[in-house]
């Protein structure tokens, strides 16, 4: 490969040539860029926002799945596997734990400021988002990676059997640019479905749409029923403090379960009772089960969790405050681009996926990966995908790029020239069909079918709309991506006629062993859902 070199900022119509393009700006994107650069590849990282501050990790404090060599990793995997609703893969879980630990050690070697334990050893199981992502940006820069901040990718470029580039827009000017690359990693994060959650503004499922337009499938999209408790009216989706909460109705009555016991631990066993109660009226909480020592630990360990309370003048340990359940979609859910190879290939030559953009079923099954598993998956999958993309680029070094065509459709190239669409209204409509508790926390055939019809109508409008221009193309593509992700979610949820993991069907409340397989979804104008054990084999990378 040619030696790495810096590229100037993209200008209108400019073509940037590189070996590997990483699309995204969170931890998976950073690890992918570092992995690819380590092989000697030229790497470009294109971020919709500012790399190091965009995405769900930057404003967070997250644990990791950290299993030191002295511990029995096989036993750790087995304990976690029992909680994955039978859809995880032990081999992937083990290799993810291995890779994540190795890369945490790399952070130590690079000088990341981990805190020290009382015995002087470093505590590497926790990452403070702002410090972590600032450090990762510095490492990416030091590795010679070209970072294109505020350069959202809008579509992929490819020929009949290979992805060889991408096109985007410069947010500052609205100018277009193209990147040709031998390998591309989609690390665009999950889809928050326009829910107002911390770090979720730009998480619109862009990578899901790019991959589908290239012919890839998605998996696990029905496992989007992950919600997190938050103070009512805030964007804070950090639920850990609610482990020490008691819940109350509006009249001050303690919320009780079927046995008459007070409902507590809103991120565990009490969540369903809280969600059920919210259907009939407001629910309030007080973190009254935390003793003074725990209160101090929570405030020091989760400082951003308490800023909303402080701004509202609430002492959450002594005052009652209203709560809500924030929908988290595929951010803390499971679904995403289907992975078909050990290096996180998508089945489309030259295209790889990592982090929350990819399905995490291999390591989380049908439940949420929460913070720790998702954080370790981002580290491991980013590393594998970056390496895979670099190796693919090396194999295709002399490939011509002149025949690459634009793959983007809805939101970029409408079928009518004079049909306008209200994107804000479309976004509100999609959110209203996917985020409410009675539509995604609990599902029924009736509600799913109603949502499906509404979403098909929105998609048809987007498909026919007059093409946007300049920077407006970004919003049009974001709305198209969220709408597509919602349609895939509904299709998978309709096919899974059971309750498993965070997919809950009121009309099929039990778990059906015959359905212990994954569901693949694909297609744009015509969405298809099929059980993996009945699907045709996917094409492998070329």
Please report, for the chain, the start and end positions of each structural domain, with discontinuous segments joined by +: 14-62+128-222+330-400, 227-327, 423-507+524-532
DSSP 202: T
pTM attached to this predicted model: 0.93
Cα gap 226→245, rounded to integer Å:
19
Cα gap 435→192, rounded to integer Å:
9
What secondary structure does DSSP assign to 278-319, as a single string? Answer: HTTS-EEEE-TT--HHHHHHHHHH-HHHHHHHHHHT--TTTS
Range 371-382 burial, b when 16+ CB lie within 10 A, else e: bbbbbbbbbbbb
Q: Which fold has domain 14-62+128-222+330-400?
A: FAD/NAD(P)-binding domain (3.50.50)
> Which pLDDT score is estimated for 12?
67
Q: Which residue has the higher pLDDT, 8 or 349?
A: 349
pLDDT digits (tens, 9 = 90+) for 175-201: 999 999 999 999 999 999 999 988 888
**Count of H helices and E strands in the chain?**
13, 20
CA-angle at 477, arms to 473 and 479, nearest 5°: 120
Cα gap 304→96, rounded to integer Å:
29
DSSP 83: T
pLDDT digits (tens, 9 = 90+) for 66-82: 988 877 888 999 999 99
Q: CA–CA distance from 168 to each of 15, 88, 424, 484 (Å)?
A: 11, 35, 22, 19
CB-CB contact of 528 with 521 (8 Å): yes
Cα gap 219→517, rounded to integer Å:
11
Q: How many residues does the chain have?
A: 542
pLDDT digits (tens, 9 = 90+) for 196-253: 988 888 999 999 999 999 999 999 999 999 999 999 988 888 888 899 999 999 999 9
The band of 399, judged by pLDDT with boundaries at 50, 70 and 90, is: low
pLDDT digits (tens, 9 = 90+) for 320-357: 999 999 999 999 899 999 999 999 999 999 999 999 99
Domain 227-327, architecture per CATH: Alpha-Beta Complex (3.90)
Q: Which of 4, 73, 171, 256 is catalytic?
A: 256
Residue 525 pLDDT greater than 70, yes or no: yes
End-to-end CA distance of the chain: 19
Find, among 86, 222, 219, the residue nearest to 512 by Cα.
Answer: 86
The band of 541, judged by pLDDT with boundaries at 50, 70 and 90, is: very low
User: Average pLDDT for residues 263-286, to the nearest whole number?
Assistant: 91
CB-CB contact of 39 with 14 (8 Å): no
Burial environment of residue 9 by CB neighbours within 10 A (0 to 12, 13 to 18, 19 or more): middle
Range 324-363 burial, b when 16+ CB lie within 10 A, else e: bbbbbbbbbbbbbbbbbeebbbbbbbbbbbbbbbbbbbbb
CA-angle at 541, arms to 353 and 185, nearest 5°: 25
286 is catalytic: no
Question: CB-based contacts of 380: which residues, under 8 Å, 6+ apart?
Answer: 95, 96, 99, 100, 103
Residue 416 pLDDT greater than 80, yes or no: no
Find, among 409, 26, 313, the residue nearest to 190 by Cα.
Answer: 26
- Cβ atoms within 10 Å, residue 501: 25
The β-bridge partners of 406 are: 157
Class of the domain covering 423-507+524-532: mainly alpha
């Amino acid at each position: 490969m040619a030696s790495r070199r810096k590229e100037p900022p993209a200008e209108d119509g400019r073509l940037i040539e590189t070996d590997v393009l990483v699309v995204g700006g969170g931890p998976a994107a950073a690890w992918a860029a570092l992995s690819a650069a380590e092989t000697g590849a030229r790497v470009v990282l294109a971020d919709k926002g500012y790399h190091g501050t965009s995405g769900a990790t930057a404003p967070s404090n997250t644990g990791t799945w950290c299993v030191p060599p002295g511990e029995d990793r096989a036993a750790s995997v087995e304990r976690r596997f029992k909680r994955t609703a039978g859809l995880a893969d032990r081999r992937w879980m083990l290799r993810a734990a291995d890779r994540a630990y190795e890369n945490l050690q790399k952070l130590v070697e690079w000088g990341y400021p981990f805190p020290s334990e009382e015995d002087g050893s470093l505590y590497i199981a926790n990452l403070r988002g702002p410090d972590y992502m600032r450090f990762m940006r510095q490492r990416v820069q030091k590795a010679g990676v070209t970072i294109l901040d505020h350069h959202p990718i809008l579509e992929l470029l490819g020929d009949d059997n290979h992805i060889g580039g991408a096109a985007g827009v410069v947010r500052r000017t609205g100018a277009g640019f193209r990147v040709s690359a031998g390998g591309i990693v989609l690390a665009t994060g999950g889809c928050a479905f326009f829910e107002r959650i911390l770090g979720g503004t730009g998480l619109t499922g862009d990578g899901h749409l790019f991959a589908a337009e290239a012919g890839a499938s998605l998996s696990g999209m029905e496992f989007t029923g992950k919600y997190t408790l938050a103070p009512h009216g805030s964007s804070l989706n950090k639920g850990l403090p609610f482990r020490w909460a008691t819940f109350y109705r509006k009249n001050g009555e303690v919320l009780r379960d079927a046995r008459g016991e007070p409902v507590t631990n809103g991120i565990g066993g009490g969540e369903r009772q809280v969600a059920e109660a919210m259907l009939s009226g407001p629910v309030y909480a007080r973190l009254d089960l935390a003793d003074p020592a725990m209160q101090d630990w929570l405030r020091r360990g989760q400082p951003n969790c308490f800023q909303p309370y402080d701004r509202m003048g609430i002492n959450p340990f002594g005052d009652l405050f209203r709560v809500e359940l924030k929908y988290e979609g595929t951010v803390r859910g499971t679904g995403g681009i289907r992975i078909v190879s050990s290096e996180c290939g998508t089945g489309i030559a030259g295209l790889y996926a990592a982090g929350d953009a990819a399905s995490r079923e291999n390591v989380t099954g049908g439940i949420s990966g929460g913070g720790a598993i998702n954080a370790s998956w981002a580290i491991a999958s980013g590393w594998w995908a970056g390496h895979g993309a670099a190796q693919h680029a090396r194999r295709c070094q002399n490939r011509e790029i002149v025949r690459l065509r634009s793959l983007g459709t809805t939101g970029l190239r409408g079928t009518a020239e004079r049909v306008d669409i209200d994107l804000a209204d479309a976004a509100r409509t999609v959110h209203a069909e996917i985020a409410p508790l009675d539509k995604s926390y609990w599902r029924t055939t009736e509600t799913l079918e109603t949502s499906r019809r509404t979403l098909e109508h929105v998609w048809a409008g987007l498909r026919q709309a007059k093409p946007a221009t300049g920077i407006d193309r970004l919003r049009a593509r974001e709305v198209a991506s969220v709408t597509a992700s919602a349609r895939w979610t509904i299709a998978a949820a309709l096919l899974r006629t059971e309750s498993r993991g965070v997919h809950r069907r009121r009309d099929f409340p039990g778990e059906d062993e015959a359905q212990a397989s994954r569901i693949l979804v694909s297609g744009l104008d015509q969405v298809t859902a099929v059980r993996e054990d009945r699907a045709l084999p996917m094409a492998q990378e070329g």
